[in-house]
Homo-oligomer: A and B are copies of this chain.
Amino acid sequence: MNDFPAGMVWLVGAGPGDPELLTCKAARLIAGASVVFYDALVGDGILDLAAPDARLVPVGKRSGRHSQDQRTIDRLIVAAALAGERVVRLKGGDPMIFGRATEERDACRSQGVAVRVCPGITAASAAAASLGCSLTLRGRARKLVFVTAHAAADAPLQLDWALLADPDATLAVYMGKSAADDIAAGLVGAGLPGDTPVALVESASMAGERSVRTRLDLLPLAARTAFADGPLLLLIGTALRASAGTANPGMAQAGAVFSGNSR
């Protein structure tokens, strides 16, 4: 396919981490790039798909050097495209869900650089697959809500708890670790029962995946224990109860059930 000429930018979803959860299209685009600008959350092994002579440029906040601000990233991408490179901007998960793709797209367009998007598996899908839990259930969890708990530096977490405390919904909270106390207090305060099932999934789909099942009023305790420093996704709602499906589901209700990656 001739959808990746020199001078073009593809914003590519790297998915949740496991290289096998890349789309076939993403794998092809990475292999065809002359330069790949990648986030810190891009999983190990994915960059191995790039051509041997491709440049691999880390631009994420955990890349081991100083965080590069968004305008610097925009400039790097546009300059590479204008120099005739085939540019992949590789972002964890799906570029269009909490991925800040709009800034990069607009930067390209403002300079006349062709830019397109290849979707990725978002963390909630990967976590649900790992847990074996559907995120929606006919008649009981007919709505799925994604929010991010990542607030600007020093800013308090501002979420409308009354809208989020919806017993008919499953709530997926991205980047939820540091905000677990606020989330539990906010949702219970707005009327969601304390025994609402919760699953915490760290590094979904990756070798270091860990998950904990608990209940909403025990979420702060669970978030403080048992996790490393990978990205943490919270899933909250009655759909998680129907999906406990363990040998001892009573335990999942009463306390926390821990599990490692079963790949």
| Pair A134/B96 contact, Cβ less than 8 Å | yes
**Smallest CB–CB gap between A160 and chain B, Å?**
7
Stretch at the interface among A32-40, A54-62, A118-126, A194-202: A118-126
Name the contact of A119 in the complex, choosing from B3, B21, B163 (C-beta under 8 A).
Answer: B21
| Pair A144/B142 contact, Cβ less than 8 Å | no
| Pair A102/B21 contact, Cβ less than 8 Å | no
Name the contact of A120 in the complex, choosing from B25, B125, B134, B242 (C-beta under 8 A).
Answer: B125
| Pair B148/A142 contact, Cβ less than 8 Å | yes
How many copies of the shown chain assemble into the complex?
Answer: 2
Task: Report A158-211 residues with CB < 8 Å from chain B CB.
Answer: 160, 163, 166, 168
Interface string of A74-118 (1 = CB under 8 A from B): 000000000000000000001111111110011001000001111
The main secondary structure of chain A at its interface with chain B is: mixed
| Pair B144/A97 contact, Cβ less than 8 Å | yes
Given known A23-B21, A24-B24, contact A96–B115 (CB-CB < 8 A):
no
| Pair A102/B143 contact, Cβ less than 8 Å | no
Name the contact of A21 in the complex, choosing from B25, B97, B126, B168 (C-beta under 8 A).
Answer: B25
| Pair A15/B23 contact, Cβ less than 8 Å | yes
| Pair A116/B96 contact, Cβ less than 8 Å | no
C-alpha spacing A109/B245, complex, angstroms? 8
**Smallest CB–CB gap between A44 and chain B, Å?**
15
| Chain A residues proximal to chain B, CB less than 8 Å | 3, 13, 15, 18-25, 27-28, 94-102, 105-106, 109, 115-122, 125-126, 128-130, 132-138, 142-148, 160, 163, 166, 168, 242-243, 245, 263
